[in-house]
Structure 1
Protein backbone atom coordinates (compact mmCIF):
# COMPACT_ATOMS: atom_id res chain seq x y z
CA UNK A 1 0.00 0.00 0.00
CA UNK A 2 1.37 3.42 -0.98
CA UNK A 3 2.02 6.10 1.63
CA UNK A 4 -0.90 8.23 0.39
CA UNK A 5 -3.27 5.27 0.68
CA UNK A 6 -1.96 4.51 4.16
CA UNK A 7 -2.50 8.11 5.24
CA UNK A 8 -6.04 8.16 3.84
CA UNK A 9 -6.84 4.87 5.59
CA UNK A 10 -5.39 6.24 8.86
CA UNK A 11 -7.60 9.33 8.61
CA UNK A 12 -10.69 7.21 7.96
CA UNK A 13 -9.97 4.81 10.83
CA UNK A 14 -9.28 7.54 13.41
CA UNK A 15 -12.20 9.63 12.18
CA UNK A 16 -14.57 6.65 12.33
CA UNK A 17 -13.71 6.19 16.01
CA UNK A 18 -13.97 9.92 16.65
CA UNK A 19 -17.33 10.40 14.92
CA UNK A 20 -18.76 7.30 16.57
CA UNK A 21 -17.75 8.59 20.00
CA UNK A 22 -18.37 12.33 19.70
CA UNK A 23 -20.80 12.53 16.81
CA UNK A 24 -20.39 14.27 13.49
CA UNK A 25 -21.57 17.65 14.77
CA UNK A 26 -19.41 17.29 17.88
CA UNK A 27 -16.16 16.91 15.91
CA UNK A 28 -14.15 19.67 14.35
CA UNK A 29 -11.28 19.50 11.90
CA UNK A 30 -9.04 20.26 14.91
CA UNK A 31 -10.36 17.09 16.58
CA UNK A 32 -9.55 15.10 13.43
CA UNK A 33 -6.09 16.65 13.33
CA UNK A 34 -5.48 15.71 16.97
CA UNK A 35 -6.76 12.16 16.49
CA UNK A 36 -4.71 11.53 13.36
CA UNK A 37 -1.60 13.51 14.29
CA UNK A 38 -1.81 15.26 10.92
CA UNK A 39 -1.86 18.93 10.05
CA UNK A 40 -4.79 20.45 8.17
CA UNK A 41 -2.89 20.30 4.87
CA UNK A 42 -2.24 16.58 5.31
CA UNK A 43 -5.94 15.96 5.79
CA UNK A 44 -7.04 18.22 2.92
CA UNK A 45 -4.60 16.53 0.54
CA UNK A 46 -6.67 13.39 1.07
CA UNK A 47 -10.20 14.74 1.59
CA UNK A 48 -12.04 17.81 0.32
CA UNK A 49 -14.11 18.31 3.47
CA UNK A 50 -15.19 16.99 6.84
CA UNK A 51 -18.33 15.68 5.11
CA UNK A 52 -16.25 13.54 2.77
CA UNK A 53 -14.30 12.14 5.72
CA UNK A 54 -17.54 11.43 7.60
CA UNK A 55 -19.07 9.51 4.70
CA UNK A 56 -16.02 7.26 4.31
CA UNK A 57 -15.61 6.90 8.07
CA UNK A 58 -19.23 5.74 8.37
CA UNK A 59 -18.69 3.16 5.61
CA UNK A 60 -15.57 1.93 7.38
CA UNK A 61 -17.34 1.63 10.76
CA UNK A 62 -20.32 -0.20 9.24
CA UNK A 63 -18.01 -2.54 7.35
CA UNK A 64 -16.22 -3.36 10.62
CA UNK A 65 -19.50 -4.17 12.39
CA UNK A 66 -20.74 -6.16 9.38
CA UNK A 67 -17.65 -8.35 9.54
CA UNK A 68 -18.38 -9.10 13.20
CA UNK A 69 -21.99 -9.96 12.33
CA UNK A 70 -20.95 -12.20 9.43
CA UNK A 71 -18.48 -14.07 11.59
CA UNK A 72 -21.04 -14.52 14.39
CA UNK A 73 -23.73 -15.80 12.03
CA UNK A 74 -21.26 -18.16 10.36
CA UNK A 75 -21.02 -20.19 13.56
CA UNK A 76 -24.79 -20.30 14.14
CA UNK A 77 -26.98 -23.10 12.80
CA UNK A 78 -30.56 -22.05 13.47
CA UNK A 79 -32.45 -18.80 12.99
CA UNK A 80 -32.66 -18.30 16.75
CA UNK A 81 -28.92 -18.88 17.10
CA UNK A 82 -28.28 -16.33 14.34
CA UNK A 83 -30.46 -13.68 15.97
CA UNK A 84 -28.83 -14.45 19.32
CA UNK A 85 -25.35 -14.17 17.80
CA UNK A 86 -26.10 -10.64 16.54
CA UNK A 87 -26.84 -9.53 20.10
CA UNK A 88 -23.69 -11.34 21.25
CA UNK A 89 -21.58 -9.06 19.03
CA UNK A 90 -22.65 -6.25 21.37
CA UNK A 91 -22.76 -8.27 24.61
CA UNK A 92 -19.99 -6.07 26.10
CA UNK A 93 -20.94 -2.81 24.40
CA UNK A 94 -19.93 -0.80 27.46
CA UNK A 95 -16.31 -1.99 27.61
CA UNK A 96 -15.58 -3.68 24.30
CA UNK A 97 -17.87 -2.69 21.42
CA UNK A 98 -16.97 -3.95 17.94
CA UNK A 99 -16.34 -0.29 17.01
CA UNK A 100 -15.27 2.32 19.57
CA UNK A 101 -18.27 4.34 20.68
CA UNK A 102 -20.96 1.69 20.22
CA UNK A 103 -23.18 1.16 17.21
CA UNK A 104 -22.32 3.40 14.24
CA UNK A 105 -25.80 2.97 12.76
CA UNK A 106 -27.50 4.13 15.96
CA UNK A 107 -25.05 6.96 16.59
CA UNK A 108 -25.08 8.23 13.01
CA UNK A 109 -28.87 7.97 12.65
CA UNK A 110 -29.38 10.12 15.73
CA UNK A 111 -26.53 12.51 14.98
CA UNK A 112 -27.35 13.12 11.32
CA UNK A 113 -31.15 13.11 11.45
CA UNK A 114 -31.57 16.88 11.07
CA UNK A 115 -28.04 18.00 10.32
CA UNK A 116 -26.48 16.01 7.50
CA UNK A 117 -28.76 14.67 4.74
CA UNK A 118 -26.00 12.70 2.96
CA UNK A 119 -24.93 10.92 6.15
CA UNK A 120 -28.58 10.35 7.07
CA UNK A 121 -29.17 8.74 3.66
CA UNK A 122 -26.24 6.36 4.21
CA UNK A 123 -27.57 5.47 7.67
CA UNK A 124 -31.01 4.80 6.20
CA UNK A 125 -29.55 2.44 3.59
CA UNK A 126 -27.67 0.54 6.31
CA UNK A 127 -30.83 0.38 8.43
CA UNK A 128 -32.77 -1.19 5.55
CA UNK A 129 -29.92 -3.63 4.89
CA UNK A 130 -29.94 -4.68 8.56
CA UNK A 131 -33.73 -4.95 8.56
CA UNK A 132 -33.64 -7.14 5.43
CA UNK A 133 -30.95 -9.37 6.94
CA UNK A 134 -33.10 -9.97 10.04
CA UNK A 135 -36.15 -10.63 7.88
CA UNK A 136 -34.21 -13.19 5.82
CA UNK A 137 -33.09 -14.96 9.00
CA UNK A 138 -36.70 -15.14 10.19
CA UNK A 139 -37.86 -16.41 6.78
CA UNK A 140 -35.15 -19.07 6.93
CA UNK A 141 -36.41 -20.06 10.38
CA UNK A 142 -39.92 -20.39 9.00
CA UNK A 143 -38.73 -22.50 6.05
CA UNK A 144 -36.78 -24.76 8.41
CA UNK A 145 -39.88 -25.09 10.64
CA UNK A 146 -38.15 -23.50 13.61
CA UNK A 147 -40.58 -20.59 13.69
CA UNK A 148 -44.31 -20.16 13.23
CA UNK A 149 -45.19 -19.78 9.52
CA UNK A 150 -47.74 -17.08 10.44
CA UNK A 151 -45.07 -14.65 11.64
CA UNK A 152 -45.24 -11.31 9.88
CA UNK A 153 -41.55 -11.15 9.01
CA UNK A 154 -41.52 -7.39 8.37
CA UNK A 155 -43.12 -6.60 11.72
CA UNK A 156 -40.89 -9.05 13.59
CA UNK A 157 -37.73 -7.76 11.91
CA UNK A 158 -38.68 -4.16 12.72
CA UNK A 159 -39.30 -5.08 16.36
CA UNK A 160 -35.97 -6.92 16.61
CA UNK A 161 -33.95 -4.08 15.08
CA UNK A 162 -35.66 -1.51 17.33
CA UNK A 163 -35.05 -3.70 20.39
CA UNK A 164 -31.44 -4.35 19.37
CA UNK A 165 -30.59 -0.68 18.83
CA UNK A 166 -32.53 0.42 21.92
CA UNK A 167 -30.73 -2.08 24.11
CA UNK A 168 -27.37 -0.77 22.91
CA UNK A 169 -28.39 2.80 23.64
CA UNK A 170 -29.68 1.98 27.14
CA UNK A 171 -26.64 -0.17 27.98
CA UNK A 172 -24.34 2.68 26.92
CA UNK A 173 -26.40 5.22 28.86
CA UNK A 174 -26.49 3.11 32.04
CA UNK A 175 -22.96 1.77 31.48
CA UNK A 176 -24.38 -1.68 32.08
CA UNK A 177 -24.42 -4.50 29.50
CA UNK A 178 -27.43 -6.21 31.07
CA UNK A 179 -29.87 -4.41 28.78
CA UNK A 180 -28.40 -6.06 25.67
CA UNK A 181 -28.68 -9.42 27.45
CA UNK A 182 -32.27 -8.74 28.58
CA UNK A 183 -33.29 -7.74 25.07
CA UNK A 184 -31.67 -10.79 23.50
CA UNK A 185 -33.59 -13.14 25.78
CA UNK A 186 -36.89 -11.33 25.24
CA UNK A 187 -36.47 -11.29 21.44
CA UNK A 188 -35.80 -15.04 21.42
CA UNK A 189 -38.90 -15.65 23.59
CA UNK A 190 -40.92 -13.37 21.32
CA UNK A 191 -39.96 -15.36 18.22
CA UNK A 192 -40.86 -18.65 19.88
CA UNK A 193 -44.32 -17.56 21.06
CA UNK A 194 -45.45 -15.86 17.85
Structure 2
Protein backbone atom coordinates (compact mmCIF):
# COMPACT_ATOMS: atom_id res chain seq x y z
CA UNK A 1 0.00 0.00 0.00
CA UNK A 2 1.44 3.36 -1.01
CA UNK A 3 1.72 6.33 1.35
CA UNK A 4 -1.23 8.02 -0.40
CA UNK A 5 -3.35 4.86 -0.05
CA UNK A 6 -2.43 4.61 3.64
CA UNK A 7 -3.40 8.25 4.17
CA UNK A 8 -6.75 7.75 2.40
CA UNK A 9 -7.45 4.67 4.51
CA UNK A 10 -6.48 6.57 7.68
CA UNK A 11 -8.90 9.37 6.80
CA UNK A 12 -11.67 6.88 6.07
CA UNK A 13 -11.18 4.95 9.31
CA UNK A 14 -10.93 8.06 11.49
CA UNK A 15 -13.93 9.85 9.97
CA UNK A 16 -16.17 6.78 9.60
CA UNK A 17 -17.72 7.04 13.09
CA UNK A 18 -18.42 10.74 12.58
CA UNK A 19 -20.14 10.33 9.22
CA UNK A 20 -22.18 7.40 10.52
CA UNK A 21 -23.25 9.34 13.61
CA UNK A 22 -23.71 12.87 12.27
CA UNK A 23 -24.42 12.08 8.63
CA UNK A 24 -22.95 13.80 5.62
CA UNK A 25 -24.77 17.08 6.19
CA UNK A 26 -23.81 17.17 9.87
CA UNK A 27 -20.14 16.30 9.40
CA UNK A 28 -17.96 19.36 8.95
CA UNK A 29 -14.44 19.71 7.66
CA UNK A 30 -13.52 20.72 11.21
CA UNK A 31 -14.86 17.36 12.45
CA UNK A 32 -12.66 15.60 9.89
CA UNK A 33 -9.62 17.68 10.87
CA UNK A 34 -10.13 16.94 14.57
CA UNK A 35 -10.64 13.21 13.95
CA UNK A 36 -7.58 12.80 11.75
CA UNK A 37 -5.21 15.47 13.04
CA UNK A 38 -4.63 16.39 9.40
CA UNK A 39 -5.06 19.74 7.72
CA UNK A 40 -7.90 20.60 5.37
CA UNK A 41 -5.36 20.55 2.54
CA UNK A 42 -4.22 17.05 3.49
CA UNK A 43 -7.77 15.73 3.56
CA UNK A 44 -8.75 17.38 0.29
CA UNK A 45 -5.44 16.42 -1.23
CA UNK A 46 -6.62 12.82 -0.90
CA UNK A 47 -10.33 13.32 -1.64
CA UNK A 48 -12.01 15.76 -4.02
CA UNK A 49 -14.59 16.82 -1.45
CA UNK A 50 -16.60 15.76 1.58
CA UNK A 51 -18.99 13.74 -0.57
CA UNK A 52 -16.13 11.58 -1.83
CA UNK A 53 -15.06 10.92 1.77
CA UNK A 54 -18.67 10.04 2.68
CA UNK A 55 -18.89 7.52 -0.17
CA UNK A 56 -15.56 5.95 0.82
CA UNK A 57 -16.74 5.74 4.43
CA UNK A 58 -20.00 4.08 3.37
CA UNK A 59 -18.07 1.51 1.31
CA UNK A 60 -15.73 0.93 4.28
CA UNK A 61 -18.64 0.25 6.67
CA UNK A 62 -20.35 -1.95 4.10
CA UNK A 63 -17.24 -4.04 3.50
CA UNK A 64 -16.72 -4.57 7.23
CA UNK A 65 -20.30 -5.73 7.71
CA UNK A 66 -20.24 -7.95 4.63
CA UNK A 67 -17.05 -9.69 5.70
CA UNK A 68 -18.55 -10.63 9.07
CA UNK A 69 -21.79 -11.84 7.49
CA UNK A 70 -20.11 -13.69 4.61
CA UNK A 71 -17.74 -15.46 6.99
CA UNK A 72 -20.63 -16.67 9.16
CA UNK A 73 -22.73 -17.75 6.18
CA UNK A 74 -19.81 -19.59 4.58
CA UNK A 75 -19.35 -21.60 7.77
CA UNK A 76 -22.90 -23.01 7.65
CA UNK A 77 -23.83 -26.28 5.99
CA UNK A 78 -27.37 -25.65 4.80
CA UNK A 79 -29.64 -22.86 3.60
CA UNK A 80 -31.73 -22.54 6.75
CA UNK A 81 -28.61 -22.20 8.89
CA UNK A 82 -27.27 -19.60 6.46
CA UNK A 83 -30.49 -17.58 6.71
CA UNK A 84 -30.47 -17.86 10.51
CA UNK A 85 -27.08 -16.13 10.46
CA UNK A 86 -28.86 -12.85 9.73
CA UNK A 87 -30.88 -12.51 12.95
CA UNK A 88 -28.00 -13.98 14.95
CA UNK A 89 -25.38 -11.64 13.49
CA UNK A 90 -27.55 -8.54 13.63
CA UNK A 91 -28.38 -9.26 17.27
CA UNK A 92 -24.62 -9.21 17.91
CA UNK A 93 -24.10 -6.15 15.69
CA UNK A 94 -26.55 -4.18 17.78
CA UNK A 95 -24.53 -4.73 20.93
CA UNK A 96 -20.98 -5.22 19.73
CA UNK A 97 -20.17 -4.75 16.10
CA UNK A 98 -22.33 -2.09 14.51
CA UNK A 99 -20.28 0.98 13.71
CA UNK A 100 -20.72 4.02 15.92
CA UNK A 101 -24.06 5.49 14.94
CA UNK A 102 -25.64 2.18 13.91
CA UNK A 103 -26.21 0.47 10.59
CA UNK A 104 -24.51 2.39 7.79
CA UNK A 105 -27.03 1.16 5.22
CA UNK A 106 -29.99 2.37 7.26
CA UNK A 107 -28.36 5.69 8.17
CA UNK A 108 -27.25 6.40 4.62
CA UNK A 109 -30.58 5.39 3.09
CA UNK A 110 -32.53 7.67 5.41
CA UNK A 111 -30.22 10.67 5.04
CA UNK A 112 -29.56 10.35 1.33
CA UNK A 113 -33.15 9.61 0.30
CA UNK A 114 -33.99 13.21 -0.56
CA UNK A 115 -30.65 14.96 -0.23
CA UNK A 116 -27.83 13.02 -1.84
CA UNK A 117 -28.63 11.07 -5.04
CA UNK A 118 -25.20 9.45 -5.36
CA UNK A 119 -25.15 8.14 -1.79
CA UNK A 120 -28.76 7.03 -2.25
CA UNK A 121 -27.60 4.99 -5.23
CA UNK A 122 -24.83 3.39 -3.16
CA UNK A 123 -27.29 2.52 -0.38
CA UNK A 124 -29.78 1.16 -2.91
CA UNK A 125 -27.09 -0.99 -4.51
CA UNK A 126 -26.13 -2.33 -1.08
CA UNK A 127 -29.72 -3.32 -0.31
CA UNK A 128 -30.23 -4.89 -3.76
CA UNK A 129 -27.01 -6.86 -3.41
CA UNK A 130 -28.08 -8.02 0.05
CA UNK A 131 -31.48 -9.02 -1.33
CA UNK A 132 -29.87 -11.03 -4.15
CA UNK A 133 -27.61 -12.85 -1.70
CA UNK A 134 -30.61 -13.89 0.38
CA UNK A 135 -32.59 -14.89 -2.72
CA UNK A 136 -29.69 -17.13 -3.81
CA UNK A 137 -29.65 -18.84 -0.41
CA UNK A 138 -33.42 -19.38 -0.50
CA UNK A 139 -33.44 -20.66 -4.09
CA UNK A 140 -30.60 -23.04 -3.28
CA UNK A 141 -32.56 -24.27 -0.27
CA UNK A 142 -35.63 -24.86 -2.43
CA UNK A 143 -33.54 -26.67 -5.06
CA UNK A 144 -32.02 -29.00 -2.46
CA UNK A 145 -35.38 -29.62 -0.77
CA UNK A 146 -34.40 -27.94 2.51
CA UNK A 147 -36.98 -25.18 2.07
CA UNK A 148 -40.56 -25.38 0.83
CA UNK A 149 -41.13 -24.83 -2.89
CA UNK A 150 -43.99 -22.48 -2.14
CA UNK A 151 -41.62 -19.84 -0.76
CA UNK A 152 -41.38 -16.62 -2.74
CA UNK A 153 -37.67 -15.87 -2.48
CA UNK A 154 -37.76 -12.13 -3.22
CA UNK A 155 -40.60 -11.44 -0.76
CA UNK A 156 -38.82 -13.39 1.96
CA UNK A 157 -35.53 -11.62 1.27
CA UNK A 158 -37.21 -8.24 1.53
CA UNK A 159 -38.96 -9.30 4.74
CA UNK A 160 -35.63 -10.33 6.28
CA UNK A 161 -33.99 -7.03 5.33
CA UNK A 162 -36.96 -4.92 6.44
CA UNK A 163 -37.20 -6.73 9.78
CA UNK A 164 -33.50 -6.28 10.49
CA UNK A 165 -33.35 -2.63 9.50
CA UNK A 166 -36.69 -1.87 11.18
CA UNK A 167 -35.52 -3.54 14.37
CA UNK A 168 -32.37 -1.43 14.41
CA UNK A 169 -34.33 1.76 13.78
CA UNK A 170 -36.98 1.09 16.44
CA UNK A 171 -34.37 0.05 19.00
CA UNK A 172 -32.17 3.09 18.37
CA UNK A 173 -35.19 5.39 18.45
CA UNK A 174 -36.71 3.99 21.65
CA UNK A 175 -33.59 2.74 23.40
CA UNK A 176 -35.44 -0.51 24.15
CA UNK A 177 -33.23 -3.46 23.31
CA UNK A 178 -36.03 -5.91 24.09
CA UNK A 179 -37.79 -4.68 20.93
CA UNK A 180 -34.78 -5.73 18.90
CA UNK A 181 -34.62 -9.12 20.60
CA UNK A 182 -38.33 -9.69 20.03
CA UNK A 183 -38.09 -8.84 16.33
CA UNK A 184 -35.02 -11.06 15.86
CA UNK A 185 -36.87 -13.92 17.59
CA UNK A 186 -39.81 -13.38 15.23
CA UNK A 187 -37.43 -13.41 12.26
CA UNK A 188 -35.90 -16.69 13.47
CA UNK A 189 -39.39 -18.22 13.70
CA UNK A 190 -40.19 -17.04 10.19
CA UNK A 191 -36.99 -18.57 8.83
CA UNK A 192 -37.59 -21.84 10.67
CA UNK A 193 -41.01 -22.10 9.00
CA UNK A 194 -39.67 -21.74 5.45
- In the superposition, the TM-score normalised over structure 1's length comes to 0.91
Does the 8 Å CA contact 1:65/1:99 hold for their aligned counterparts?
A: no
Q: Which runs of 5+ in 1 are unaligned?
A: none
**Is the Cα–Cα contact under 8 Å of residues 19 and 54 in structure 1 kept in the other structure?**
yes
Match of 1:4 in 2: 4
- Pairwise CA distance, 1:82: 1.4
Deviation for aligned residue 1:47 = 0.8
After the TM superposition, which of the residue ranges 75-84 and 52-61 deviates more from structure 2? 75-84
Q: What CA deviation, in whole Å up to 9, does each residue of 1:42-90 have, x standing for no partner?
A: 1011111001111111111101110011111122222222122122222
Instruction: Please name the residue that 2:87 is paired with.
Output: 87
CA drift at 1:12: 1.1
Residues 45-194 of structure 1 aligned to structure 2 (within 5 Å): 45-193=45-193
Which residue in 1 is equivalent to 2:16?
Answer: 16
TM norm structure 2: 0.91
Taking the aligned partners of 1:80 and 1:179, their CA distance within structure 2 comes to: 24
Distance 2:95 2:170 in 1: 14
Counterpart contact for 1:23–1:111, Cα < 8 Å: yes
Q: Is the 2:87–2:188 contact (alpha carbons within 8 Å) kept by the matching residues of 1?
A: no
| Cα distance between partner residues in 2 of 1:53 and 1:143 | 42
**Hey, which of these two has a bigger chunk of helix by percent?**
2
